[in-house]
Structure formats: structure tokens, C-alpha cells
């Protein structure tokens, strides 16, 4: 197992290299000139050219790329064109905010989505089941920006329970901090929650009809353990797959939710950077997200092994785990 | 009478499907004494497994129901027990093993966990003691190196070994009754004999009664004291193994007996088979369920249900032409098309 993890970490390097190339090329293909954006519409052509020289944008592409990769190897993500700050410190400013939001959304999604799916499956075709299914269908299809705005209108504007935008700080007190977190978390949790409910239900349904569930009942186990222990552990594999995708997506920043609630997270950092043609920040953040994706995938693959003893990573062919 | 461990009277089992009711079992009677082995034979869909599942009260909720009948087990009225009381019976006093050992063990728990769980569900025992018990049970069912095996997962066991583990789970609480639903069907022949042998020796040791559900008549002769022959949800004939073997009376039993491979079939004779298929249990027919396929059927068979008649002590047959005053003459080779 340790060997497997080590191998996967080494595999990370080529993946990141390829991502770096793609991001580099795409950012250069986007129309628009960062120098022009920085200097504003009044700037003269000479000024823009001068700034481009300063930023190294007039160098041939391959030189720029080698420079970029060279810095990267030394752990240098570059300096933002617009903020004039190292990209890594920008990311480190924003990432904890994204982490807080992602974590609370994930907790809500898991705590509601998975039990809902389990109950739905164990009472298949009941009113309860239909209710969960309809709600989760709405949940996966609802436009997030609309839901966010509706929540703000009702809970912030009408009822005044929660602040409409922004992220609280601990200095303002824990309660304020949590209050700021509620609406964005619920908004962000909606899709994962519905997705978890649906995948849990379908995965559980498949498992519940298996013979070993009959064996568990014949042992005289309580239905709670039959479903919660024997069935659920077997149903976990597909749930983990979905979990991995959702966690990666959440950690990459939630552009819509962060925009609606003015949440200072990764999503908005990227969108702003794209807006301002800040190549360096776009490259850095995308690369950072790519690394998170790969690490989360690795973590999920390790969890597969823990959940399902039949998964074998050590023997040749099955070694890739996917 | 006190050594009667299980008495089933007029058991009916119905299944509700979207449009109709399937009468899967009708009026089954069972009397089983301590240490006795009862065989329930019949083709697929005859209601054997459903009967067994009903005894455990494990029919699918909301679909299966027991509208009539009484099940008395060890002095308890099974059908009137609360869910909790019934859980105390399951796995503890009545245990069950299933047809396919490849799928009836949970793949994500070690065999040790699965045995320990059975023990700890019904007995106050520390984890350590339960582990010891699991190792001991594996030894009892003849699994070599039990200390090592106990930590392994089902996929690391062969089919026969898994069935041994199932038996270990079933017998871990010393049940008074073991229901074995086709325990050897999925195993290859050499392993079958070992498993049957194991069940027999453990029965001797623990005074367990066994209900053996099978369509393999060989298993019945080998293991059982009594037999119930089921067809389309009804008992068509029941009696001791000797009577059923030496003096079978129901035409369906004759058909079953003839459909076995004999020396003649090996020499090239066609293997007899009962033509046709069982009736649709959603639409009950007024007469004998077997009438359509019975080579001896007369008019009365498709209009009137035959009543069970005790033709000799303990030998009960449901056929219009097999009564105390009237016997059907068995013809040779009527089941060959």
C-alpha cells in the first residue's frame, strides 16, 4: 500500500507537467492583452509596449514557457500581473476560505444526502422514497445562481436572519462567522446533496437484494445493522467515486456561489484573473486545482481499498486502481 | 409429543404483485421432532424456499404475507412474536444456510467478523471471547489453520469452504433447528458429499433438527427421515423416506423418482421428464394443480381439489385416485414423451 501511494505520487509529476503545458497554451490563446487591461483604455500604444516588455510578454512563447517551467520546478508560481503579489500567497489567502465553505457544504451534503438515499432505498416505492427522489431531482437540476439569489431574498432580505454577502471573521464572534457561512453552504451543498442521495439510493438498492443481506437478517440482526452495516459498506464504492468528484469540484472553488455571496475564495480569484488577463494567476490557480484533483483521487483510491478488501492494487494489471 | 420441535399447521403464504395475488404456499403441514431431518422436495417454484423463509418470518416486507396457518416452534407461536422476539429466535434457535455460498457471505467483512457477529448478537460475550469462538467454529467445520483463516475475507475461500463458514455461522449459537435451503446445489459433487457429511455429524453432536430443502432426491435419501413432496405450493405427498421411496403413491412423486439418472439412462435410454410446466399461481385452478401434466388425470381432476388422505400411518397423499379404497396402478415409463 505504501509503495502504491508512493508510485501514485511520482505519477503526479507528468500529470502536472501536462496540465502546465495546456494551461500555458490556453492562457496565451485567450484574446486580450494583460498590459492593455492594466493600463486602461486611455493608454498609448508605446506605454502598453513598454509594460509588455517589463512583463516579459514580448519574449518568444517558448522562452516564456521555459522560464515558467523553470520557476515552477523551484516551487515558484510567479508573481501576479495585477496584484503584484506572488501567486502562491494569493492562493494561500483564498484557499482557506474555499476550504471552509467547501467543508461545510460537504458536511451538509453528506449528512442529509446519504441518510436520505439509504432511507429511500430501504423503503423503496414508498411515499418517503418518492419524496426524496423528487426533491433530489429538483436539487440536481436547480440553477445554483437562482437558488442562491432566492435564499438571499428570503432569509436575508425578508427575514433578516443571515447576512446576504461576505465572509465573517472570527474576530466578529463565532456566531457571526457561522451566520455568514449558512446561506453559501446551503447553496453550494444542494447539488452534491442531491447527487449523494441519488447515488446512495441506487447503490443501496443493488446491494439490498443480495443474498448476504438475507444472511444478515437470518442471523437475527436488527434491521438498522442489516442496512447500516452490511448493506451500506457494500454500497460505498460508487458513493466514494462521487464523493471524490464532488470534493475536487468543491475545493476548486465555487465560482457561482462565491460570486453571489461575495465569498473571497478560489473561484472568484480565477474569474477575476481571467477577466484581467492575469495569465500568471490563472496558470497558478489552475495548476493548484489540478494538484488537488489528483491528490483527492489518490485519497479516494486508497479509501476504495479500505472499504472493499477485494480491491487489489499490488498485482500488475489492477494497479491503476481506476 | 414433547419432543416435537416444530409444528406447522395449514400454512398459507401469499405474495402481492402489482395486479394480483400469488398463492405461493397453500396449507402446508410439518411436524418435526428433535434430531429429525425433514426433506422438502419439489421443482423450482413449488414453494419449498418460500415455506422455509416463512418459518423464519423473513418474507419480503409488504409483499409476502401469511394469511393463514400456525407455526409452533419449541412451544412458541412464531407468528405472534414481536419483531424483537423474532430476532432473538433467528440465528439463535433457528438458523439458516443458503444455496449459494459464493454470494451469501458478505464480501467486505472477514469471515471471523461474520461469525463473531452471529455469536455476539445472541450471547453476552466480549470481542476476544467471540474471536476465540469463531476460531473454534472454523475448526469444528473442518477449516484448516483457523487462526489464520479467521482474518480472511470470503473471496479468499473456495465454494466448499465458504459453505463450511456458512455452517459455522449457522451453528455458532447451537440452534435447535437448522434450515438448509439447497445447501449443496451450487457445489461440485465431491464437495457436496463432504458438506452433507459435516452437517450430519454436527447434527449428531448437537441434537439439531434439520429441514433440508432440495430438488436432489439423492440428498434426501442420504440425509432425511421424512419427506414432503411439494408441487405448485401444495404438499402432494408426505411420509417417511422409506415409504416415499418404496411405496410412492402420488403420480407427481412417481414422475420425480423416474426423472433420476439410472443405469438405463446411462446405457442410452432417454431420461424421463414430466412434460409441461407448473400452473400459474396467480390464477388458482379449481382442480388438482398437477392435473394438466398428469398422465393419469381424469375429468374430476380438473374440477375438484383432491383432499389429503392418510393412506397409512404417517403417509399422506393428495390424489383423487389414491385413497384407502381405491389405488391407481402405476404404469412404467409414462413420463417419456
Q: How far apart are CA B229 and CA B239, in angstroms?
A: 9
Contact (CB, 8 A) for B106 and B114: yes
Contact (CB, 8 A) for B135 and B149: no
Ramachandran category for residue A234: left, alpha or beta (phi over 0 → left; psi -120 to 50 → alpha): alpha
**Looking at beta carbons, which residues of chain A come within 8 Å of B108?**
233-234, 307-309
Optimal mutation site among B104, B130, B159, interface A, most CBs of chain A within 10 A: B104
ipTM exceeding the 0.85 mark:
no
| Segment B161-196, tens digit of pLDDT | 888 898 888 888 888 899 998 888 877 888 888 888
DSSP letter, residue B79: G
User: Does A308 sit within 8 Å of B155, measured CB to CB?
Assistant: no
pLDDT at A108: 93
Chain centroid to CA A76: 24
Q: What are phi and psi of A306, to 5 degrees?
A: -70, -40
CA nearest A209 in B: which residue?
B60
| Segment A204-222, tens digit of pLDDT | 999 988 889 988 888 888 8
Residue B132 to chain A, least CA–CA distance (Å): 19
Structurally, how many domains does chain B consist of?
Answer: 1
User: Does A310 sit within 8 Å of B117, measured CB to CB?
Assistant: no
Pairing mode, if any, of strands B94-97 and B76-77?
unpaired
Contact (CB, 8 A) for B56 and B90: yes
Q: How far apart are CA B319 and CA B330, in angstroms?
A: 13
Q: Which residue has the higher pLDDT, A54 or B289?
A: B289
User: Does A308 sit within 8 Å of B107, measured CB to CB?
Assistant: yes
**Distance in angstroms between the alpha carbons of the first and the last residue of chain B:** 46
The CA-atom distances, in angstroms, between A176 and each of A149, A180, A182 are 20, 6, 10
Contact (CB, 8 A) for B36 and B209: yes
**Looking at beta carbons, which residues of chain A come within 8 Å of B95?**
218
Chains A, B: CB pairs < 8 Å? 67
Domain that residue B118 falls in: 106-172
Give the rounded percent of residues in chain A with a pLDDT score beyond 90. 13
Closest by Cα among B26, B32, B39, B38 to B73: B32
pLDDT band at A317 (very low <50, low <70, confident <90, very high): very low
Helix (H, G, I), strand (E, B) or coil at B337: coil
In this predicted structure, the answer to whether residue B303 has a pLDDT above a threshold of 90 is no
Lowest-confidence range among A117-131, A155-169, A181-195, B187-201?
A155-169
Q: Which residue has the higher pLDDT, A50 or B41?
A: B41
pLDDT at A285: 86
Q: Which residue has the higher pLDDT, A155 or A172?
A: A155
Q: How far apart are CA A141 and CA A265, in angstroms?
A: 24
Q: Which residues pair with B70 in a beta bridge?
A: B9
Return all residues near A97 (Cβ < 8 A) that are at least 6 apart: A167, A263, A264, A265, A266
Q: Which residues pair with B200 in a beta bridge?
A: none
pLDDT band at A321 (very low <50, low <70, confident <90, very high): very low
Give the rounded percent of residues in chain A with a pLDDT score beyond 70. 97
| Segment B117-142, tens digit of pLDDT | 988 888 888 999 999 989 988 988 88
Helix (H, G, I), strand (E, B) or coil at A272: helix
Task: Characterize A161-195 residue by residue with b for buried, 16 or more Cβ atoms within 10 angstroms of its Cβ, and e for exposed.
Answer: ebbbeebbeeeeeeeeeeebbbbbbbbbbbbbbbb
pLDDT at B333: 65
pLDDT at A316: 46
Q: What are phi and psi of B152, to 5 degrees?
A: -95, 165
pLDDT at B337: 58
Q: How many Cβ atoms are within 10 Å of A279's Cβ, its own excluded?
A: 24
**Distance in angstroms between the alpha carbons of the first and the last residue of chain A:** 15
pLDDT at A288: 86
pLDDT at B143: 87
Cell numbers for B99? 444455496
Q: Is the pTM of this model over 0.80?
A: no
Domain assignment present for residue B153? The answer is yes
| Segment A13-34, tens digit of pLDDT | 888 888 888 888 887 777 777 7
Residue A222 to chain B, least CA–CA distance (Å): 7
Cell numbers for B203? 447434527
pLDDT at B336: 64
Q: How far apart are CA B187 and CA B166, in angstroms?
A: 13
Q: How far apart are CA A175 and CA A162, in angstroms?
A: 11
Per CATH, the number for A92-320 is: 1.10.3720.10
Cell numbers for A85? 503579489
CA nearest B85 in A: which residue?
A220
Domain assignment present for residue B262? The answer is no
| Segment A221-265, tens digit of pLDDT | 888 999 988 899 989 889 988 998 888 888 876 788 888 888 888
Lowest-confidence range among A2-6, B45-49, B251-255?
A2-6
**Looking at beta carbons, which residues of chain B come within 8 Å of A309?**
107-108, 110, 153, 155
| Segment A31-57, tens digit of pLDDT | 777 777 777 777 777 877 887 777 777
Lowest-confidence range among A280-284, B33-37, B303-307, B321-325?
B321-325
Evaluated on CA atoms B51, B54, B56, B59, the torsion sign reads positive
In this predicted structure, the answer to whether residue A169 has a pLDDT above a threshold of 60 is yes
In this predicted structure, the answer to whether residue B89 has a pLDDT above a threshold of 80 is yes
Domain assignment present for residue B249? The answer is no
Domain assignment present for residue B116? The answer is yes
User: Does A219 sit within 8 Å of B104, measured CB to CB?
Assistant: no
User: Does A211 sit within 8 Å of B96, measured CB to CB?
Assistant: no
Domain ranges of chain A: 92-320
Domain assignment present for residue B186? The answer is no
| Segment B199-231, tens digit of pLDDT | 888 888 888 999 999 888 888 888 899 999 998
Mean pLDDT of A150-177: 78
pLDDT at A315: 53
Closest by Cα among B115, B78, B106, B80 to B93: B78
- Any idea which residue has 422438502 for its cell? B40
Amino acid at each position: 500500500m505504501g509503495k502504491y501511494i508512493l508510485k501514485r505520487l511520482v505519477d503526479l509529476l507528468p500529470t502536472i507537467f501536462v496540465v502546465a503545458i495546456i494551461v500555458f497554451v490556453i492562457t496565451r490563446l485567450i484574446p486580450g492583452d494583460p498590459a492593455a487591461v492594466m493600463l486602461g483604455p486611455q493608454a498609448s500604444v508605446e506605454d502598453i509596449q513598454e509594460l509588455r516588455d517589463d512583463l516579459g510578454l514580448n519574449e518568444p512563447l517558448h522562452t516564456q514557457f521555459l522560464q515558467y517551467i523553470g520557476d515552477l520546478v523551484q516551487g515558484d508560481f510567479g508573481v501576479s500581473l495585477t496584484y503584484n503579489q506572488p501567486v502562491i500567497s494569493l492562493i494561500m489567502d483564498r484557499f482557506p476560505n474555499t476550504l471552509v465553505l467547501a467543508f461545510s457544504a460537504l458536511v451538509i451534503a453528506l449528512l442529509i444526502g446519504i441518510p436520505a438515499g439509504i432511507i429511500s432505498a430501504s423503503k423503496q416505492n414508498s411515499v418517503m422514497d418518492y419524496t426524496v427522489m423528487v426533491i433530489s431531482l429538483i436539487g440536481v437540476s436547480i440553477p445554483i445562481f437562482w437558488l442562491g439569489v432566492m435564499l438571499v431574498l428570503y432569509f436575508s432580505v425578508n427575514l433578516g436572519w443571515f447576512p446576504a454577502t461576505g465572509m465573517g471573521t472570527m474576530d466578529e464572534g463565532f456566531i457571526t462567522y457561522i451566520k455568514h457561512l449558512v446561506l453559501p453552504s446551503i447553496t453550494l451543498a444542494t447539488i452534491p446533496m442531491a447527487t449523494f442521495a441519488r447515488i446512495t439510493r441506487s447503490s443501496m438498492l443493488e446491494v439490498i437484494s443480495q443474498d448476504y443481506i438475507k444472511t444478515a437478517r437470518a442471523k437475527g440482526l436488527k434491521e438498522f445493522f442489516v442496512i447500516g452495516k452490511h448493506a451500506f459498506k457494500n454500497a460505498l464504492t460508487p458513493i466514494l467515486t462521487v464523493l471524490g468528484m464532488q470534493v475536487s469540484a468543491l475545493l476548486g472553488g465555487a465560482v457561482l456561489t462565491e460570486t453571489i455571496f461575495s465569498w473571497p475564495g478560489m473561484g472568484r480569484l480565477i474569474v477575476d484573473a481571467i477577466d484581467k488577463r492575469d495569465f500568471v494567476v490563472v496558470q497558478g490557480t489552475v495548476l493548484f486545482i489540478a494538484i488537488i484533483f489528483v491528490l483527492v483521487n489518490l485519497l479516494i483510491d486508497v479509501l476504495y481499498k479500505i472499504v472493499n478488501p477485494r480491491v487489489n492494487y499490488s498485482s500488475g494489471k489492477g494497479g491503476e486502481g481506476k | 409429543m414433547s419432543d416435537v420441535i416444530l409444528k406447522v399447521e395449514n400454512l398459507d403464504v401469499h405474495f402481492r404483485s402489482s395486479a394480483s395475488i400469488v398463492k405461493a404456499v397453500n396449507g402446508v403441514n410439518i411436524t418435526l421432532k428433535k434430531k429429525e431431518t425433514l426433506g422438502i422436495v419439489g421443482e423450482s417454484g413449488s414453494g419449498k424456499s418460500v415455506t422455509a423463509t416463512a418459518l423464519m418470518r423473513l418474507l419480503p416486507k409488504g409483499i409476502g404475507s401469511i394469511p393463514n396457518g400456525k407455526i409452533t416452534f419449541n412451544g412458541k407461536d412464531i407468528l405472534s412474536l414481536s419483531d424483537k422476539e423474532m430476532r432473538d429466535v433467528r440465528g439463535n434457535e433457528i438458523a439458516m444456510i443458503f444455496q449459494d455460498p459464493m454470494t451469501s457471505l458478505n464480501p467486505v467483512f472477514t469471515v471471523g467478523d461474520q461469525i463473531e457477529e452471529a455469536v455476539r448478537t445472541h450471547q453476552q460475550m466480549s470481542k476476544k471471547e467471540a474471536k476465540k469462538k469463531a476460531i473454534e467454529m472454523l475448526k469444528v467445520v473442518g477449516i484448516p489453520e483457523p487462526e489464520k483463516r479467521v482474518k480472511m475475507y470470503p473471496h479468499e475461500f473456495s465454494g466448499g469452504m465458504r459453505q463450511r463458514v456458512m455452517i459455522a455461522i449457522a451453528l455458532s449459537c447451537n440452534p435447535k433447528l437448522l434450515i438448509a435451503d439447497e445447501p449443496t446445489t451450487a457445489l461440485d459433487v465431491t464437495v457436496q458429499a463432504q458438506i452433507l457429511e459435516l452437517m450430519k455429524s454436527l447434527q449428531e453432536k448437537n441434537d439439531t433438527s434439520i429441514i433440508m430443502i432440495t430438488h436432489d432426491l439423492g440428498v434426501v435419501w442420504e440425509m432425511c427421515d421424512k419427506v414432503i413432496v411439494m408441487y405448485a405450493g401444495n404438499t402432494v405427498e408426505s411420509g417417511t423416506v422409506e415409504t416415499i421411496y418404496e411405496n410412492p403413491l402420488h403420480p407427481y412423486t412417481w414422475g420425480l423418482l423416474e426423472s433420476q439418472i439410472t443405469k438405463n439412462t446411462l446405457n442410452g435410454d432417454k431420461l424421463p421428464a414430466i412434460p409441461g410446466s407448473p400452473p400459474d399461481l396467480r390464477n388458482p385452478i379449481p382442480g388438482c394443480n398437477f392435473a394438466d401434466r398428469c398422465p393419469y388425470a381424469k375429468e374430476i381432476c380438473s374440477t375438484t381439489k383432491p383432499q389429503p388422505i392418510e393412506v397409512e400411518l404417517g403417509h399422506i397423499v393428495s390424489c383423487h385416485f389414491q385413497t384407502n379404497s381405491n389405488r391407481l396402478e402405476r404404469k412404467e415409463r409414462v413420463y417419456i414423451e
